[in-house]
Structure 1
Amino acid sequence: MINFQPNWTSSPGNTINDILKNRSIEVPVFAKKIDESTDLVIKLIEGSIKINNELASKLSNELGTSRSFWINREEHYRSLLKVNQPKVMSNWISSLPIKDMIKFGWIKDSNNLEKECLNYFGVSDVYAWYTKYTNTNTLSFRKTETYKSDLASIFSWIRRGELLSNKYPLNEWNKQKFLDSLDEIKTLTREKNPKKFLPKLISICSDCGVVLAIVPTPKNCPVSGVVKFIGNRALIQMSFRYLSDDQFWFTFFHEAGHLILHNPENPILEIDKKVIDEKEKEANDFAQEVLIPYYLKEEMMKIRGNKKKIVGFSIKAGVSPGIVIGQLQHLKIIRFEYLNGYKRRYDWSDINETLESLKLS
């Protein structure tokens, strides 16, 4: 029997999730016990599918509750939806970056924005969205008051990467192959134009089972990147924030570090942070080591602001001058406002043209 009182204003999926957590049962294990797919159980927990008589019987047999409990639980929840849905839906729609979602072509500008948004997120109703996206395990990043109001925009941005991932070849994640490819990827940092390096970068990543999705950020989405797993593939999603070579490449190798070092169970989001946790520090160190190996660090520190030496050192290190300048700024060897003119700047028109040619926009 259930040893706690369920919250009847939440979805039946929340009750199922609470019971599984209370009994330390993993979702795949539970799915096997009730002879259903893991994907179905996830959707059940999210509230995306309804509990029918067959599912109610399976839940009853495995969780020690009556079949009528789950039928009544489902009916009670759905009745609440009908009463509260209009107000909740209106609040949800107003929280989303609708103008940018339309501008970027993520949704259509129609008379039924509710349906457009539900289809975009792949949920049956707004309550299923809240169940899916407000779970405390949905993201791994430092949560502060500053970012709470941005979550709807952040989830909208992440969802676009998930949808784009379906356009990529279905190669399985291969950690060793990806690690071995980083030296080849590093040579692309010296390419000036995204039209040249993006197709090569995307192809190398795809061959290793890594989806590299480039997605512009909507309003109130202060994100540079996110890394997560979608089934047996890895996703690195980047926003090209700041449109400079040092920021783009450091973020890429930082995300690569998360994949290789941490094999994250939950998405790890990159937002400008003053406080760096252990995993973030490890990913930073990984990116720095790939770009400027430790044995070259002392030599780089001595360059200081000498432009000629920076160019010569960048050739020796096999990276662009902008990356060297970015590292010197990060280490406070030179001021952040110094030598930024030597960084390569990107243009969204080049990026979009490249993605459109690859059919990945």
Structure 2
Amino acid sequence: MLVLVPSIKKAHVSGVARWLNLHKALIQLSLSGKTNDRFWFNFFHEAAHILLHDKENIFLDEWNSEESLKSEQEGEADRWSREFLIPLEYKGELAKLKYETDMIDFAERIGIHPGIVVGRLQHDRLIDPSWMNDLKVNLHFQEIESV
């Protein structure tokens, strides 16, 4: 089951993964400050916890936690998500992308959104975090008036 929830101010929680019972898992994501690259990374990170880790654990992930402080399971979920979105076979090619058109072409060829490519390059410090953010899509909840 996937649940999208508003964030709690100053909590910095990006996602939760846990088993509700032996047959039903829950992934809960916040959209706070989310762009599509972060959303999909977080979704697949939480999915990795469900697929790879103990059913008794609850995984609560903060978007700003330092790499050096992460557990082995958090590191494994990070790697799984990264490689699911952009497989290792593209690592060398990914490092050569410098221009917006290159990123768009690369993303189209491997079947992902260009914002995910930009986010990965920013995270890996291959491009500056302020570059090409226009290729990302901002996500937010839309209020629906009840009738």
Could you state the TM-score of these two structures normalised by the residue count of structure 1? 0.38
Instruction: Give the one of 11, 19, 22 matched to 1:221.
Output: 11
Contact 2:32 2:140 in 1 (8 A): no
Partner of 1:345: 138
Residue 279 of structure 1 aligns to which amino acid in structure 2? Q
* Identical-residue share of aligned pairs (%): 37
CA contact (8 A) 2:16 2:46 kept: yes
1:199-239 CA distance string (max 9 Å, x none): xxxxxxxxxxxx10111012332100000111131000000
What CA distance in whole angstroms lies between the structure 2 residues aligned with 1:340 and 1:322?
7
Contact 1:241 1:247 in 2 (8 A): no
Does 2:85 match 1:291?
Answer: yes
2:125 corresponds to 1:335: no
The counterpart of 1:255, out of the listed 46, 54, 62, is: 46
Match for 1:325: what amino acid? V
SS at the partner of 1:230? strand
- How far apart in 1 are the matches of 2:8 and 2:102? 39
Secondary structure of the corresponding residue to residue 96 of structure 2: helix
SS in structure 2 at match of 1:319: coil
Q: Say whether 1:241 aligns with 2:35.
A: no
Contact preservation (8 Å) 2:46, 2:77: yes
Higher mean displacement: 311-320 or 264-273: 264-273
Are 1:241 and 1:248, in contact at CA under 8 Å, matched by a contact in 2?
A: no
Task: Give 3-state SS (helix, strand or coil) of 2:137's partner.
Answer: coil
Task: Return the alpha-carbon distance in structure 1 between the equivalents of residues 140 and 58 of structure 2.
Answer: 28
Structure 1 residue 347: Cα displacement: 3.0
Q: Which runs of 5+ in 2 are unaligned?
A: none
Pairing 1:280–2:74 present: yes
Provide the secondary structure at the position in 2 that maps to 1:348.
Answer: coil
- Which amino acid is the alignment partner of residue 59 of structure 2? I
Q: CA deviation at 1:292?
A: 0.3
C-alpha distance in structure 2 between counterparts of 1:273 and 1:212, whole Å:
23
Query: Is the 1:329–1:336 Cα contact (8 Å) retained in structure 2?
Result: yes
Mapped to 2, the partners of 1:268 and 1:242 lie a distance apart of 20
Name the SS for the 2:25 alignment partner: strand
RMSD of aligned Cα (Å): 1.5
Runs (4+) off by over 6 Å: none
Q: How many residues align?
A: 141
Q: State the Cα distance separating 1:269 from its structure 2 match.
A: 0.4
Alignment of 1:1-361 (within 5 A): 211-231=1-21, 232-271=23-62, 272-274=64-66, 275-303=69-97, 305-349=98-142, 353=144
More strand by share: 2
| CA deviation map 1:136-189 (0-9, x unaligned) | xxxxxxxxxxxxxxxxxxxxxxxxxxxxxxxxxxxxxxxxxxxxxxxxxxxxxx
| TM-score of the pair, normalised by structure 2 | 0.90
Q: Which has the higher contact order (CA 8 A, sep 6+)?
A: 2
Return the structure number with greater helix share: 1
- Find the aligned partners of 1:248 and 1:222 in 2 and give their Cα distance: 14
Unpaired stretches in structure 1, ≥5 consecutive residues: 1-210, 357-361
Structure whose CA Rg is larger: 1
- Alpha-carbon distance in 1 for matches of 2:129, 2:111: 22
The whole-number CA distance in structure 2 between the counterparts of 1:329 and 1:220 is 24
Q: Please state whether the residue corresponding to 1:345 is helix, strand or coil.
A: coil
Secondary structure of 1:241's aligned partner = coil
Task: Give the SS at the match of 2:78.
Answer: helix
